[in-house]
Amino acid sequence: MKSLSYSLLAGVMLTAFACKKDNYAPPSSSLTGTLLYKGDTVGVEYNQVPYQLYQFGFGKTGSIDGTFAPDGNMSQLLFNGNYKFIIPNGQGPFMWPQTPAGAPDSLSITMNGSQHINIEVTPFYMIRNAKITNSGGTLTANFKAEQIITDANAKGIERVVLFVDKTQFASNANPLASASINGGDITDPNNITITLAAPNVAPQKYVFARIAVKIQGVEDLLYGSVQQIPL
């Protein structure tokens, strides 16, 4: 009987512990952020540029992983507490600060309710004065590719691209149509023009278009804002 009583007591305690563990409230503090360079948004490709959050304590050692949206925004639900935010080396069309040892530097974040952070990066280039128009079924994109990094870390332009799609996710990932100019064929980076025949998307009466810059030796493309173009 004593053995049975101990077994029953142990079972009750385990059940109570499991219920208590299962009844913890889920994370409810929203951390949002935006990739910025001197106040201007840095555009990227959907689900391609990762970030990592680390919360120390509570036996946690792994990272909380996420990716940036095309407009450079991120969002994560977290518990309140202290976190370190990083962008891994070699990710994104920009430079993220590094420690003297070459590891990604971290941004300290204290969560005590929801908050928004500015995530400052240094892009290799910025797309300026982007304008995309439709005239007689021909899409024309005109813009300036401003070189931001000009020191020993500077990189050239591999190509510039105009992506067109039926949805707002116009990008390098299976676009409906695209046109490009090789970097060596760009005569004036302050006045780049790309033309493309507008695809037939009937009965839809518009397309989404986006300019991108592929930088030499950098996997991720730099993107301008998505524009909806009437047809």
The pLDDT score that the predictor gives to residue 25 is 80
**Whole-number Å distance between alpha carbons of 98 and 26:** 33
Q: In the predicted model, is pLDDT for residue 204 greater than 80?
A: yes
In a domain, 195, yes or no: yes
Question: How many independent structural domains does the chain possess?
Answer: 2
Same structural domain, 219 and 130: yes
Same structural domain, 90 and 62: yes
* pLDDT, tens digit (0-9, with 9 covering 90-100), for 72-81: 999 999 999 9
- Paired tokens of 100: 């003297």
Same structural domain, 66 and 134: no
Among 1-5, 109-113, 226-230, name the one with the lowest average pLDDT. 1-5
CATH number at residue 135: 2.60.40.2060
The pLDDT score that the predictor gives to residue 62 is 86
Q: In the predicted model, is pLDDT for residue 44 greater than 80?
A: yes
The pLDDT score that the predictor gives to residue 157 is 98
In a domain, 65, yes or no: yes
Among 9-18, 43-52, 76-85, name the one with the lowest average pLDDT. 9-18
Domain hosting residue 59, numbered range:
29-122
Looking at residues 162-188, what average pLDDT do you find?
A: 96
User: Would you report the helix, strand and coil content of the chain in percent, each value rounded to 5?
Assistant: 10, 45, 40
CATH number at residue 106: 2.60.40.1120
The pTM assigned to this predicted structure is: 0.86
The pLDDT score that the predictor gives to residue 26 is 86
- The mean predicted confidence, pLDDT, of the chain is 91
Same structural domain, 97 and 39: yes
Same structural domain, 219 and 136: yes
Domain edge (last residue) among 61, 93, 122: 122
The DSSP secondary-structure symbol of 26 reads: P
